[in-house]
Amino acid sequence: MALIVIPQLLFSICVSASPLPCLLGWLLVVCCLATLLTTALIDPGIIPKRPYAQKPSVDQPPCVEEMVNGIKVIRKYCSTCNILRPLRASHCPFCNHCVLRFDHHCPWTGTCIGERNYRFFLWFLCATTALSLHVGVLCVSDLVTKVKAQPSDPNPVNTFFRAASLTYYISLILLLYAAVMGVSLGMLVGFHAYLCLTAKTTREDLKAVDGEVSPYHLGRLANLRHIC
């Protein structure tokens, strides 16, 4: 949370001269925190374990083959949870539970990303990317405005860095931070947009063969409607 709130607080105090950009930034912060907390606190789709006392007398087969849209898929038996996993479910070694439509375990939220919280995770990524772009663009505008107010110098690069390092270093630091976060999060948003359009999870994409079509693919628009 500090990585979201502190940059916006510095931006509001040291950079923003207008209340409207400041208000927009704080609205994005609220969206970031709300989606982050929802992602972290909501049940991702944990499948209850079956007590070993209820284990079938007949040995459970290690896997079961099924056909989905004409493509063969495999359901595996989880010896830890003592269940035959539903389609697209997987066991998380960090949470020690099987999770419906398991995508990955997120260290930032401290929980799995699965069927029930994936859409909130996507909204969190989009909100933090928008916040990074918002801060970055306004920091550039602030630096340009302040540099123009500096005494002229034959070398414009010297003028820029003198203004930024002596007077407006906070704007420069925020700009660099926003650039790193914006690029990183933007790439992550693009990757998950690709996953949504192709009806895959991160785990399925990592295990898939190049060019392999997901058996759950319903068409790009239908895939998006199913997620969002």
Residues annotated as part of the active site: 106
The three-state secondary structure class of 26 is helix
Structure tokens at 12: 């509001």
Q: H/E element holding 78? A: strand 71-78
Structure tokens at 200: 């895959």
- CA 188 and chain centroid, separation: 6
SS3 46: strand
Structure tokens at 98: 């099987």
Task: Find out whether 101 and 118 touch, Cβ atoms under 8 Å.
Answer: yes
Query: What CA–CA distance (Å, rounded) separates 213 from 228?
Result: 21
Q: How far apart are CA 105 and CA 61, in angstroms?
A: 27
Query: Residue 5 corresponds to which amino acid?
Result: V
Q: Report which of 63, 93, 53, 88 is spatially closest to residue 195, judged by C-alpha positions.
A: 88
